[in-house]
Amino acid sequence: MNTLIGTYDCKVDAKGRLMLPSGMQKQLDSILESGFVLRRSVFQPCLELYPMEEWQILMRKMNKLNKFKKKNNDFIRRFSAGARIVEVDKSGRLLIPKDLTVFAGISKNIVISPAINIIEIWDKDKYEQAIDDATGDFADLAEEVMGQDDDEDGIS
C-alpha cells in the first residue's frame, strides 16, 4: 500500500458515522472492499484505522512474540483491546463504535490524519492541542529521529 496524504476536517453524525472525504476515498479505493480494523491508539487519545492488509502484517509480527512471557501476553491483550473490524458502506461512511468514540473523546467535529500507512481519527480539539503541544520541540525531534548522518537510505 502507498502512503496516505492529506489531513481532513470532518463531522460525525448522531449515529457515530464518519463520511470519508472523497480525497481519502480515492487513496483507499483499491482496498475499500477488504475492510479495516479500528483500534485505540497506544500513545495518543485518538483512534487508528488500519487497512486490513496493514493489520495482517502487524498481526504476523505480533504472532512471533512468545506468549508464555507475561509482558508479551499483557501487551497483546492491551494492544487488541477494543479493536473492531469496520467497513466503509456504499455511501462512503464508516461507523465508529460507541466505546471507541468515548475512548477518543470524539464529539461532532473530528480530524482524520494519515500516519504513513494508517489513518488517525481525532476529536478536532484534541488534535489541535496535540499539534500545539508538539510544536515547541519538533525541530529537536526531527533532528533526533531523521538527522543521522550515517543513514543507509540517504535520508537527509
- For residue 64, the model assigns a pLDDT of 95
Q: Would 29 be classed as within a structural domain? A: yes
The strand pair at 17-19 and 93-95 is best described as: antiparallel
- CATH number at 80 reads 3.40.1550.20
Q: Would 80 be classed as within a structural domain? A: yes
Q: What are the start-end ranges of the E strands in the chain?
A: 8-11, 17-19, 36-40, 47-51, 84-86, 93-95, 109-115, 118-123
Q: Would 154 be classed as within a structural domain? A: no
% the chain with pLDDT above 70? 92
For the whole model, what pTM was predicted?
Answer: 0.84
Q: Would 155 be classed as within a structural domain? A: no
Q: Would 116 be classed as within a structural domain? A: yes
Query: In 97-111, which positions are buried (b, 16+ CB within 10 angstroms) versus exposed (e)?
Result: eeebbebbebeeebb
Q: Would 133 be classed as within a structural domain? A: yes
Give the three cell numbers for residue 41: 491508539
At 9, phi and psi to the nearest 5? -85, 130
In which band, very low, low, confident or very high, does the pLDDT at 153 lie, cut at 50, 70 and 90? Answer: low
Domain count, the chain: 1
What one-letter code names the amino acid at 47? Answer: L
Q: Would 34 be classed as within a structural domain? A: yes
Mean per-residue pLDDT, 104-111: 93
User: Partners of 88 in the beta sheet?
Assistant: 94
Q: Would 2 be classed as within a structural domain? A: no
Question: How does pLDDT run across 28-68, given as a tens digit for each residue?
Answer: 888 888 889 999 999 899 999 999 999 999 999 999 999 99
Mean pLDDT of the chain: 88
Give the three cell numbers for residue 94: 464508516
Question: How does pLDDT run across 118-152, given as a tens digit for each residue?
Answer: 999 999 999 999 888 776 677 777 788 888 765 56
Owning domain of residue 139: 8-146
